[in-house]
Amino acid sequence: MIPSDPEDLWASIRMLAPAEGVRWLEEKVEGAAEDPEAIMAAFPAVGRKVGRTTLDPEADPRDLHAWRLDDAGRTLLLVALGDRLGGELEELYRYGDADERRGVLRALPLLPVGASAVPLVEDALRTNDTRLITAAMGPYAFDHLDDATLAQGVLKYVFLGIPISPLTSLDERATPEMARMLADYAHERVAAGRDVPAEVWPVIERFPPEEELNAIVAEL
């Protein structure tokens, strides 16, 4: 689930978080709305105060795509800043731990930042932290990354074993180059006698790269 409305996030928090955590977050959101710098002290404490359980009670806690309460709380803090969101976003990402960085990345689709946060997404995709890479490849990435960077992100997903089926805009942004890269990856897996993730074939089949597919057939 990818929340698209702050009210949905509030509903989940009020249903799942402890009452004292809800009160704390309401106070901190109000404070951030009045003074953007107040978010700097509140942001790291969200997980401890609100919790880290998944918004969907039936979701597997190990599911990298599943939103958690701390993701929701951090998103609401950032949303509270509105158009006054400036250097705080980059500072929270640069100096935050992995959970805080993920919170920044997941909040991006709900923030009025335009393309200014693309460098943060690109930074996350250069890491090997599956939590950050998964969060980075959300709706914001599909709206703002160029084709080459997006294709590299999808390939990194596959390479690290992160499921690509939850990427709901993948069909819209798939390109011949993305298909070629995934087919080349599949060829390497086949040549090494390893299984190929079934999820890559629908993308490859949209723009079948003849040379790479012939190489796969030759290996088989």
Per-residue pLDDT of the chain (220 residues; tens, 9 = 90+): 677 789 999 999 999 999 999 999 999 999 999 998 999 999 999 999 999 999 998 999 999 999 999 999 999 999 999 888 878 899 999 999 999 999 999 999 999 999 999 999 999 999 999 999 999 999 999 999 999 999 999 999 999 999 999 998 999 999 999 999 999 999 999 999 999 999 999 999 999 999 988 888 888 7
pLDDT computed for residue 203 by the predictor: 96
pLDDT computed for residue 188 by the predictor: 94
CA distance 216 to 173: 24
How far is C-alpha 190 from the chain's CA centre? 29
CA distance 108 to 123: 14
CA distance 183 to 205: 9
Helix (H) or strand (E) holding 131: helix 130-136
Write down the residue that tokens 């701390």 correspond to. Answer: 70
CA distance 193 to 4: 42
pLDDT computed for residue 2 by the predictor: 74
pLDDT computed for residue 26 by the predictor: 97
CA angle 161, 94, 115 (to 5 degrees): 80
Q: Which pTM does this prediction carry?
A: 0.93
